[in-house]
């Protein structure tokens, strides 16, 4: 692999703009090389037309050059003069500026390609100063964060036995340890110099009356606990139970792991940039084989703060020592295993099973098509009955498989264009599923579903088992039970971490006002808005099997009931209602004032769904006009929000007209194509409003399934650009790591 690609692959994606722009500098070197070749061609042409006459001076130069080449070592005086003659650049550090500003003086500007080389060294200095400035600022942040995390919580409270209550941590021991560390840390932070200098403590400890201002904060884990407001404890009543201490320790442990990861990434940042400067200077020397400009420049790089500072290394040692002592009982091997987790590797067996399951799925599809064609099932009397009862039962799995396929495609392109989806979604390190794992789950589910469909058709046409209709009809229900058992399985199999992460996000969506809304929560809720038909089919499951309609394969009692229709309307509204409440909660939390407008978007969609449902049920010109008007408003509103707010597009004054300033995809036409496709697919669901819910070549149930599938595809396209926009926002603010809130707080006017 070439260094440029390897350099890009090892970058922290959110810090990409802070790395040395290796590709641009390489382009400048190519321009220098092209300019030199043009000059040499012109000189050769001029030489051939007018060859110079030999002179004594030229022969003398030839002798000097021969003497230099074969004369061995010369005296020291001559070597010093020759070094001065061979000097190409002078690198100086402007000590008066803060941070230091490194400038390179090019001494050969009068030669050929001099202007191009001036541009190269000017840009080289800009890149180096950028790297130095970013590195110093990050080191300063690490120092302050280390003081807050490592020094503040470098204690372990002693438990004591209190009657029959059990273990309760002593208020005096716990609070004294905490407050001593806290006061010490406050004084140290006040004396901290951001650019990596040593911290000095010059103030005395604050008295112990600070205990009255200490409070333990543990992240709420239940809706009930989130309703309780935080309260302060006085010194006399200051006590913390075992569960609170355990939760606080777990939070601190995660904070140390994240902090250690930041330090390792910062070390990698320093090493990669030094290597990049070394590589680019070697490329420059290849253009001029007689020069050695890299020696002077790389000496400056080696003496700079980027290489000479040892703050990061000392911080790493300190954090590792504290972590091993307090979280691993002194077991350094275990501590290092937790802190320096290995990168996730792809397994060949996953790819092998994907191929097997995809092949089986294709074979089952062919078998189903052949059976339908040979036995002429489409022309049979039970065709309509099958489409209205059995087809919706199996289409649930079709929606799931399609959504997983789109998500696998999203992950593939996110990885290809270095969108840090694992960090954005908040997955634990090395637990996120790649596109191969998603494809494995989707293909295995498709095999189970298609096998059940084929078995169902086989039993329907076989006269020997045709009377055993109950066994035939129970196949979809059995498949649902299998899927639910796998999803809820508590054992550490079938991607347990990801399954429970999904279940947690679903629970947060259900209890939406009682939990702080995070990106995974509202991202999942957006997915649910595209799976309305799946939820309606699940409602049909309950009615079909709960009321015993499966025994005679009849759905009249379900679909002909007003109660069923009303519940179906509520089910269609629930996903949009959840998103509306999430917007309201984010607005109340003060995250973004635009969430009020976003909430109105979902209210407009709810109004459109209600109007459309009433029109379908009661008909009438007035209801049709109302349904059409609300649907148009909701469609325009949602489309505008998708393109402008979620995707960050349609900007007039952007560097890329009508797009963002920064784009990940190499071809801008893809963005315009995605916008057109989004608008078209947004309009697809309006076909039911204008009475186009029948098609001569498709059954009504199949047409509904097709429209629902198009909405899932639209959502898959939306997913990529939505997360791309989120990634670019993180890049703009250099947010590359998860912020872990500390479980303690302190409030005192004297220390604010």
- Collapsing DSSP to helix, strand or coil, 191 comes out as coil
| In the predicted structure, residue 575 carries a pLDDT above the cut 90 | yes
What is the per-residue pLDDT across 60-71, written as a single tens digit (0 to 9) for each? Answer: 444 333 333 333
| In the predicted structure, residue 240 carries a pLDDT above the cut 70 | no
Question: What DSSP assignment string belongs to 208-227?
Answer: GGGGGGEEE-----SHHHHH
Of residues 308 and 552, more confidence is placed in 308
| In the predicted structure, residue 91 carries a pLDDT above the cut 90 | no
Of residues 538 and 224, more confidence is placed in 538
Bridge partners for 241 per DSSP = 168
Average pLDDT over residues 6-24: 87
Confidence of residue 205 (pLDDT cuts 50, 70, 90): very low
Confidence of residue 715 (pLDDT cuts 50, 70, 90): very high
Of residues 72 and 9, more confidence is placed in 9
Phi, psi at 215, each rounded to 5°: -145, 140
Q: For residue 678, what pLDDT is reported?
A: 93
H/E element, 44: helix 22-49
Q: How far is the C-alpha of 501 from the C-alpha of 431, rounded, in Å?
A: 10
Lowest mean pLDDT of 74-78, 81-85, 512-516, name the range.
74-78
Q: Order of strands, edge to edge, in the sheet holding 159-162?
A: 159-162, 166-169, 240-241
Q: How far is the C-alpha of 392 from the C-alpha of 540, rounded, in Å?
A: 8
| In the predicted structure, residue 180 carries a pLDDT above the cut 60 | no
- Taking each continuous run of H as one helix and of E as one strand, the counts in the chain are 26, 7
Q: How far is the C-alpha of 576 from the C-alpha of 601, rounded, in Å?
A: 9
What is the per-residue pLDDT across 598-653, written as a single tens digit (0 to 9) for each? Answer: 999 999 999 998 988 888 777 788 888 898 899 889 999 999 999 999 898 888 88
Q: How far is the C-alpha of 38 from the C-alpha of 30, rounded, in Å?
A: 12
- Collapsing DSSP to helix, strand or coil, 161 comes out as strand
Q: For residue 106, what pLDDT is reported?
A: 67
As to burial, measured by CB atoms within 10 angstroms (0-12 exposed, 13-18 middle, 19+ buried), residue 490 is: exposed
The domain locations on the chain are 3-69+88-143+260-339, 155-242, 348-732
Q: How far is the C-alpha of 324 from the C-alpha of 317, rounded, in Å?
A: 11
- Closest CA relative to residue 275, chosen from 19, 92, 17: 19
540, 555 contact by CB (below 8 A): yes
Q: How far is the C-alpha of 454 from the C-alpha of 460, rounded, in Å?
A: 10
Q: For residue 228, what pLDDT is reported?
A: 55
Question: What DSSP assignment string belongs to 293-314?
Answer: HHHHHHHHHHHSHHHH--HHHH
Q: For residue 60, what pLDDT is reported?
A: 43
Longest dimension (CA), the chain: 115
| In the predicted structure, residue 167 carries a pLDDT above the cut 50 | no
- Collapsing DSSP to helix, strand or coil, 736 comes out as coil
160, 170 contact by CB (below 8 A): yes
Average pLDDT over residues 357-364: 96
Confidence of residue 51 (pLDDT cuts 50, 70, 90): low
- Closest CA relative to residue 233, chosen from 167, 322, 171: 171
Q: For residue 159, what pLDDT is reported?
A: 43
Peptide bond into 99 cis (omega under 30): yes
Lowest mean pLDDT of 278-282, 345-349, 357-361, 577-581, name the range.
345-349
DSSP 279: H
Sequence-ordered alpha helix ranges (H) in 171-310: 171-190, 223-227, 242-287, 293-303, 305-308
Sequence-ordered alpha helix ranges (H) in 553-657: 556-559, 562-588, 595-618, 621-640
| In the predicted structure, residue 219 carries a pLDDT above the cut 60 | no
pLDDT above 70 covers a percentage of the chain that reads 71
Confidence of residue 217 (pLDDT cuts 50, 70, 90): low
Q: Which residues contact 26 (CB under 8 A, 6 or more apart)?
A: 4, 280, 283
Lowest mean pLDDT of 203-212, 255-264, 365-374, name the range.
203-212
Q: How far is the C-alpha of 66 from the C-alpha of 50, rounded, in Å?
A: 26
Sequence-ordered alpha helix ranges (H) in 491-561: 496-510, 519-529, 532-546, 556-559
Q: Which residues contact 717 (CB under 8 A, 6 or more apart)?
A: 674, 677, 678, 681
Mean pLDDT of the chain: 77
Q: For residue 218, what pLDDT is reported?
A: 53
Q: For residue 49, what pLDDT is reported?
A: 58
As to burial, measured by CB atoms within 10 angstroms (0-12 exposed, 13-18 middle, 19+ buried), residue 582 is: buried
Phi, psi at 140, each rounded to 5°: -60, -45
Q: How far is the C-alpha of 200 from the C-alpha of 717, rounded, in Å?
A: 54
Confidence of residue 195 (pLDDT cuts 50, 70, 90): very low
Confidence of residue 672 (pLDDT cuts 50, 70, 90): very high
Confirm whether pTM is higher than 0.95: no
656, 670 contact by CB (below 8 A): no
Average pLDDT over residues 220-236: 49
What is the per-residue pLDDT across 388-442, written as a single tens digit (0 to 9) for each? Answer: 888 999 999 999 999 999 999 999 999 999 898 988 898 887 888 999 999 999 9
Q: For residue 617, what pLDDT is reported?
A: 76
Bridge partners for 166 per DSSP = 162
Phi, psi at 334, each rounded to 5°: -65, -40
Q: For residue 194, what pLDDT is reported?
A: 40
Find how far residue 99's CA is from the centre of its chain: 32
């Amino acid at each position: 692999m070439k260094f440029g690609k390897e350099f890009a692959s090892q970058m922290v994606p959110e810090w990409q703009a802070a790395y040395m722009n290796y590709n641009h500098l390489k382009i400048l070197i190519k321009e220098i090389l092209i300019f030199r070749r043009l000059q040499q061609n012109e000189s050769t042409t001029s030489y051939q037309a007018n060859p110079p006459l030999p002179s004594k001076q030229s022969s003398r130069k030839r002798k000097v050059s021969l003497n230099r080449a074969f004369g061995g070592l010369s005296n020291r005086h001559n070597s010093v003069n020759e070094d001065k003659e061979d000097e190409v650049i002078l690198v100086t550090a402007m000590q008066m500026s803060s941070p230091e500003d490194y400038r390179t003086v090019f001494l050969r500007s009068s030669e050929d390609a001099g202007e191009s080389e001036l541009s190269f060294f000017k840009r080289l200095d800009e890149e180096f100063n950028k790297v130095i400035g970013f590195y110093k600022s990050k080191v300063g942040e690490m120092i302050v964060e280390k003081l807050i995390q490592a020094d503040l919580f470098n204690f372990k409270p002693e438990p004591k036995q209190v009657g029959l209550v059990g273990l309760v941590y002593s208020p005096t021991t716990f609070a004294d340890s905490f407050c001593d560390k806290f006061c010490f840390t406050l004084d140290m932070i006040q004396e901290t110099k951001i650019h990596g200098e040593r911290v000095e403590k010059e103030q005395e400890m604050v008295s112990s009356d600070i205990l009255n201002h200490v409070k333990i904060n543990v992240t709420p884990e239940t809706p009930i606990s989130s309703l309780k407001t935080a309260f302060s404890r006085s010194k006399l009543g200051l006590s913390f139970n075992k569960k609170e201490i355990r939760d606080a320790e777990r939070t601190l442990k995660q904070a140390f792991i994240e902090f250690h990861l930041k330090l390792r990434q910062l070390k990698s940042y320093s090493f990669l940039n030094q290597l990049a400067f070394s590589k680019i200077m070697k490329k420059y020397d290849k253009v001029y084989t007689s020069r050695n400009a890299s020696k002077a420049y790389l000496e400056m790089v080696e003496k700079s703060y980027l290489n000479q500072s040892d703050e990061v290394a000392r911080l790493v040692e300190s954090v590792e020592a504290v972590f091993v002592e307090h979280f691993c009982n002194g077991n350094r091997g275990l501590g290092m295993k937790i802190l320096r987790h290995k990168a996730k590797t792809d397994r060949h067996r996953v790819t092998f099973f994907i191929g097997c399951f995809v092949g089986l799925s294709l074979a089952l599809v062919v078998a189903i098509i052949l059976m339908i064609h040979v036995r002429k099932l489409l022309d049979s009397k039970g065709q309509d009955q099958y489409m209205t009862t059995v087809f919706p039962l199996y289409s649930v799995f079709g929606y799931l498989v399609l959504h997983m396929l789109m998500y696998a495609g999203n992950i593939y392109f996110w990885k290809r264009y270095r969108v840090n989806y694992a960090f954005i979604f908040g997955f634990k390190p090395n637990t996120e599923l790649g596109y191969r794992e998603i494809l494995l789950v989707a293909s295995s589910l498709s095999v189970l579903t298609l096998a059940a469909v084929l078995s169902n058709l086989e039993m329907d046409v076989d006269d020997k088992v045709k009377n055993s209709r109950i066994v035939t009809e129970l196949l979809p229900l059995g498949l649902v039970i299998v899927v639910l058992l796998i999803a809820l399985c508590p054992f550490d199999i079938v991607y347990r971490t990801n399954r429970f992460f999904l279940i947690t996000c679903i629970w947060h969506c259900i209890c939406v006002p009682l939990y702080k809304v995070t990106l995974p929560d509202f991202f999942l809720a957006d997915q649910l808005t595209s799976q309305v038909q799946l939820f309606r089919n699940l409602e049909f499951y309950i009615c079909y099997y709960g009321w015993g309609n499966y025994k005679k394969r009849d759905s009249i009692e379900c679909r002909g009931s007003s109660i069923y229709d009303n519940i179906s309307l509520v089910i269609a509204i629930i996903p949009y209602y959840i998103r509306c409440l999430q917007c309201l909660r984010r607005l109340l939390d003060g995250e973004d004032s635009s969430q009020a407008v976003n909430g109105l978007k979902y209210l407009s969609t709810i109004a459109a769904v209600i109007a459309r449902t009433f029109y379908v049920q009661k008909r009438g010109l007035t209801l049709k006009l109302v349904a059409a008007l609300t649907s148009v408003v909701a469609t325009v509103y949602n489309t505008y929000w998708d393109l402008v707010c979620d995707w960050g597009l349609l900007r007039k004054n952007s560097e890329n007209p009508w797009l963002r300033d920064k784009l990940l995809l190499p071809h801008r036409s893809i963005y315009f194509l995605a916008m057109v496709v989004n608008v078209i697919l947004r309009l697809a669901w309006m076909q039911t409003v204008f009475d186009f819910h029948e098609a001569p070549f498709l059954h009504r149930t199949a047409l509904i399934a097709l429209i629902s599938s198009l909405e899932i595809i639209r959502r898959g396209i939306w997913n990529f650009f939505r997360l791309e926009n989120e990634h670019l926002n993180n890049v703009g603010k250099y947010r590359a790591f998860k912020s872990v809130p500390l479980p303690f707080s302190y409030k005192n006017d004297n220390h604010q």
